[in-house]
A and B are shown apart, each in its own frame.
Chain A
Amino acid sequence: MNQGRPTVLFVDDEIDFLNTLLKRMSKRGIDVRGAGSGEEGLRLMQKSKSDIIVMDVRMPGMDGIETLREIKRQWPLTEVIMLTGHASLEAAREGMELGAFDYLMKPVDIDELLYKIEDAFGKVLIQQKKIKRLEEAAESKHT
């Protein structure tokens, strides 16, 4: 868990899109990983947790909403940004209700996505800080 650089997991069934996005993101100093499906994404998360997940809503197999539900169940602190087509606005709304951080419409402007990631990371950091403080308080109580 790096303080300055967020670890981001990108989940998209369009491998070409995913690869290019990963290259661009790592070029911008973000610690990235990619997964071609919801299932793969969950497996990678099990190996090591990412701070932020950027995920397509429409995917074959386990779709974005299902994956989101699973992520929020297992890693509630991980923030999720949904990528949607226009037709899946309904799904985006559902995603927001399930606790996604935000949504973006494809094709995505790279800068916009970066801002969103930074925002989400900011939120993650605040959350982590609060938890840390509570942990310290608990420890000092013990000692």
Chain B
Amino acid sequence: MKNNRLLQNPFYKSLMRNMFLTVILVSITPMILVIILLLSRFQTSYEEKVEAHLKELVLKHKQNIDGFLKERMNNIRYLSKVLNIEQLSDEQFLDERLAILQSEFGPVFVDMGIVNDKGKQVAYAGPFKLGEADYHEAEWFKKANTYPNFVSDVFLGLRGLPHFIVSAKKDFKGGEYILRATIDFVAFNNLVENIRIGETGFAFIVNHAGEFQTKPRAASVPNRAILDELLLEGKKIPEKVKVSRKEDSSGRDHIYVTASLKNDDWMLIYQQDTADAFSIVRKAFQIALLIFTIGSLGIVIMSYLISHRTVKRIARADQEKEMMNQQVIETGKLASIGELAAGIAHEINNPVAIMVEEAGWIQDLLEEEEFKKSENLDELNRALKQIGNQGRRCKEITHKLLSFARKTDSRTQEVDINQLIREIIGISEQRAKYSKIVFQSDLYSGLPNVRASQTEIQQIFLNIINNAIDAMEKSGGSITISTRQSTDTVMIEFADTGPGIPMANLGRIFDPFFTTKPVGKGTGLGLSICYGIVKKLGGDIQVKSVVGFGTTFQILLPAITTQNETMNINNG
């Protein structure tokens, strides 16, 4: 409690705060730096790794898809090269070829047809009734008619199902014909559909106009703006696989890996949420944050405790020093008062000596014959005797003062407690008399001496007696001083008949700066200094008080027993 009160002092508060903040700063700063450095390194290298992995993946699939398209194209070209127009125009024959292709490559080829340069289908093999269909208006026909080999974009066409066409143009005798085959969209879609990584990673294909060539997962298709951007970037260096990051309209960050397909006509796009792609980085961030939080908390608590404890210790040391200083000042004060008293006593001594001497001289003269008859002789003699008596009284007082002053030194020596008490009673009696206080003493005559500083013991006794006199100033009463010996302890008891100390104050009377005297009257240090001295001497001081009856101070001091003495001598 006392220390906490001390810590309220602004000096200690700021000291504590500075220490607290310094410790926190010094411990947390390197931790933050290390965490940031490691995390940023980890993030870069991990992201590089993830990007490289995605690039690899996309490149592989690009090759896959390109290979697939090329292969289908080769199938058709081969057929167009080895077969003549009669064979191709024969629907039965075409059916057989389709069956062979389907059995070789799975249900990739849906149907086949041969179209003349007017766009009219001459022969058809497949599940749909598309014989005699006219394609001369169709987009794919216009393109297929200009290139020897052609792969169309995905479109719905006459059948109303998404599909695309692989075609080969051939100059047969009697005109140009186009052999076309429809590739099943589902089979093609699977090539891309299978690219799935994490929770949000998927791939799709768009043509140069940004139209989807495969069915992307409906959940999160990129919007036009992003697609256009990707396509534009893709066109710059078509042969390379590129990685970029873009934020969509809802604010989510995505990573895009793009590769061109089909001679830069299509684009394979892989999309994944950045957060998903780098989830491990995020996890590392979370762990680091957790460690940082726990670490910081630990540091804060520890630095608080350390600064608190250190400052408390400093405060206590300061307080002890303060008390010591006060004690030194008090002792010094007493010593200087003693010196002053000695000076005064000596100065008074001389005039008193002269007065007594002069009175003696008058008495001498009165012995002479001429005064013998004087009727006032007796009265004169009485007056002179009185002067002599009062002179002696002055002498006693000054001698007491001088003997008190003589002892103001703090050297440790053997102190006769009884003698000291008698002297102190002699000094205090005069003051006590004015307050109608009487001294009683019950001193044990065989009391052993105590090893202490005479001045300090004097100070303790005077303090307690002065307190008692102060307490009984108005009421009067008695102070009983008794000494006793119990084995190797000297016990001195000061019992007054004053008003007593209330219970609430009893526990605090030895606290420094505790006083019930009016401001300026008491420092509140007297008893705490007494306590300090007694404790220093290895003794104890106790107080018992009953309100209305009086207070008793009991001081226990270690006695010098003969045994101790021999021991000391042996040691010495």
Contacts and interface: CB of A to CB of B under 8 A. Distances in A.
B350 interface: yes
B367 to A, nearest CB: 9
B360 A14 contact: no
A106 B353 contact: yes
Interface of B: 342, 345-346, 349-350, 352-354, 356-358, 360-361, 364, 391-392, 395, 398-399, 402-403, 405-406
A16 interface: yes
26 contacts: A14-B350, A14-B353, A16-B358, A20-B357, A20-B358, A20-B360, A21-B357, A23-B361, A24-B364, A27-B364, A85-B346, A85-B349, A85-B402, A86-B402, A87-B402, A89-B406, A105-B395, A105-B399, A106-B349, A106-B350, A106-B353, A107-B353, A107-B356, A108-B353, A108-B357, A110-B357
A17 B346 contact: no
Contact of B357 (A24, A27, A58): A24
Contacts of B360: 20, 24, 110
Nearest to B339: A87
A25 B364 CA distance: 10
B395 A87 contact: no
Q: Which 10 A-B pairs have the closest CB atoms?
A: A107-B353, A86-B402, A107-B356, A20-B357, A86-B399, A106-B353, A17-B354, A87-B402, A16-B354, A20-B361
A87 B357 contact: no
A21 B350 CA distance: 13
Contacts of A87: 342, 345-346, 402, 405-406
Contacts of A27: 364
Given A17-B357, A58-B346, A87-B405, 10 more contacts: A14-B350, A14-B353, A20-B360, A23-B364, A24-B357, A24-B364, A85-B346, A86-B345, A107-B391, A108-B353
A70 B395 CA distance: 31
A20 B354 CA distance: 8
Chain B binding surface, main DSSP class: helix
Contacts of B349: 85-86, 106-107
A115 to B, nearest CB: 15
Nearest to A86: B402
Contact of B350 (A17, A20, A86, A89): A17
Q: Is the interface of A mostly helix, strand, loop or mixed?
A: helix
Contacts of B342: 87
Contacts of A24: 357, 360-361, 364
A6 to B, nearest CB: 19
Given A17-B350, A87-B342, A107 B357 contact: yes
A133 B342 CA distance: 50
A16 B33 CA distance: 93
Counting chain B CB atoms within 10 Å of each CB, which of A16, A17, A87, A107 scores highest? A107
Contacts of A107: 349, 352-353, 356-357, 391-392, 395
Interface in A112-136: none
Interface string A4-28: 0000000000101100110110010
Contacts of B392: 107
Contacts of A23: 361, 364
B282 to A, nearest CB: 91
- The residue among B353, B358, B399, B403 with the most chain A CB atoms within 10 A of its own CB is B353
A123 B445 CA distance: 40
Contacts of B352: 107
B403 to A, nearest CB: 6
Interface in A52-102: 58, 85-87, 89
B364 A86 contact: no
B398 A86 contact: yes
Contacts of B399: 86, 105
A86 B360 CA distance: 22
Nearest to A89: B406
